[in-house]
Amino acid sequence: MKTNVLFIISLIVLAASFDTINQLLLKNSINSLSSNINSIKKVIVFIGKLLLIPQVWIGFFFCCLSLAVWLFVLSKADLNFAFCADSMHYIFIALASRFILKEKVGLWRWVGTASIIVGIILLTISNR
Amino acid sequence: MIKNRVTLKILLFLVVSDFLETFSQFFFKKTAIPASGLDVKNIPDALIFLNTVFFSPYLWIAFLLVFLTFVLWSTILSKIDLSVAVPIASFSYILVPLVSIIFLHEKVSALDWTGIIFILSGVIFVSISSHKDGAATQ
C-alpha cells in the first residue's frame, strides 16, 4: 500500500464518526415521531413529517460528508482493508448508544467490540 | 416478541442483500480508482476530487445498489429481528475480500484473514448480544 496506513485508518475513523452522527440524528428524529405505521398512506405521511425535521437534513449533510471521505479512502486504499476496517462503526455506535442515548450495553456487546478492535489491529499490522 | 424464524425466502433475501452491498462497495471502489492519483491538500483539490467522482457512472450504479439494499433490508427487518439478520448479513465481510481478490486483484494475506475472522465474530457478538442481554434481564 502506497499511503501511510495510519493516515488511512484516521480517515476511516472520520468517515465512521460522520456516519454515527447521521445515525444518531436520524434515530433521534424517528423517536420523536409516532411509530404507528400500518398503511402505505401512513408511510408517506411519516416520511413527509421526517423531511420537515431540520435534524434529518443535518444528518443527511453528515451522510454526504461520510461518503466523500469514504470515496477518498477508497482512492488510496485496498477495498478489502478499508471495508473491514470500517467495521469500527459498530464500536462507535455501541459507545454512542451507551453514553449519548444512555442505552444499556451488555457484556457480550463489549466482548464483540473488543474482538472487532483486535481484528482491525491485525489488519493494520498486516497492511503496514 | 422476538421474530427469529428465518425462512428460506428470508435467507435468500439476506444473501441477495449481501451481494448487493458487496457490489455497491465494489462500484464505490471503481468510482474512486480514477481519483487515486489526486492529492487533496486544500479546498480546490477537494473540489477537483468531488468533481471526478461525482460524474463517474460507477457512483450512480453504487447509489442504485445502495437503494436496492435499503429496500430489501427494510423488508427483511419487517420479518425478522436485527439481532438475527445482522449475523447472517455479516457474510459480506468474507464476500468483499473475495470480490477484491477476484475483480480488483488485491492481495489478502493469512494475517488479513485472521483479522477478518476476529471482525466477523465481533460483529456477530455485538448483534446477537441484544437479545441475549434482554433475556438475561427478564
pLDDT score for B136: 41
pLDDT tens sequence across B43-68: 888 899 999 899 999 999 999 999 99
Contact call for A122 and B118, based on CB within 8 A: yes
- pLDDT of A2 reads 53
Surface of B (71-90) touching A: CB under 8 A: none
pLDDT for position B87: 81
Average pLDDT over residues B27-52: 89
pLDDT given at position B138: 32
B130: confidence class by pLDDT, cuts 50, 70, 90: low
**B129 pLDDT higher than 70:** no
Query: Could you tell me the pTM of the whole model?
Result: 0.85
Does B118 touch chain A if contact means CB atoms closer than 8 Å? yes
The residue of chain B nearest to residue A72, with distances taken between CA atoms, is: B32
Considering only CB atoms, A84 lies closest to which of B33, B116, B128, namely B116
Across the interface, whether the CB atoms of A68 and B133 are under 8 A apart is answered no
| Total H helices, total E strands in chain A | 6, 0
The predicted pLDDT at position B70 comes to 87
Residue A113: closest CA among chain B residues belongs to which residue?
A: B122
With an 8 Å Cβ cutoff, are A80 and B122 in contact?
A: no
- Residue count of chain B, please give it: 138
Residues of chain A with pLDDT under 50: 1
pLDDT of residue B59: 96
- Cα–Cα distance measured from residue A52 to residue B29, given in angstroms and rounded to the nearest whole number: 34
Cβ–Cβ pairs < 8 A, chains A and B:
138
Report the distance separating Cα A58 and Cα B111, nearest Å. 39
Residue for cell digits 492519483?
B37
Residues B81-123: pLDDT tens digits? 777 788 888 889 999 999 999 999 999 999 999 999 999 999 8
Measured CA to CA, the distance from residue A21 to residue A46 in angstroms comes to: 22
